[in-house]
Amino acid sequence: MNKIILFPRGKTIIAATIIKTVLEPLDTGNGRQVVFFCQDKTGKKYRVPRSDVLVMGKSKTKARKSA
């Protein structure tokens, strides 16, 4: 299963598969934030803070048919 997120970029909403999740320090120096590195179907990669994520979900890969 792959984790999918939806997030806004400009005026469009992008659906992408999560590649990696990391904790980064906040710009203010207090605390940390969760950041997702993800890739859409065209292969373009994005860095998305968790605060920008609209929806998280899981996608199932196609199941193999047994003969």
Query: Is pTM beyond 0.75 here?
Result: yes
Q: pLDDT by residue (tens digit) across 2-53? A: 899 999 999 999 999 999 999 999 888 789 999 999 999 999 999 999 999 9
- CA distances, 32 to each of 26, 28, 48, 49, 50 (Å): 5, 10, 14, 11, 11
Helix (H, G, I), strand (E, B) or coil at 52: helix
Indicate the pLDDT class of residue 67, thresholds 50, 70 and 90: low
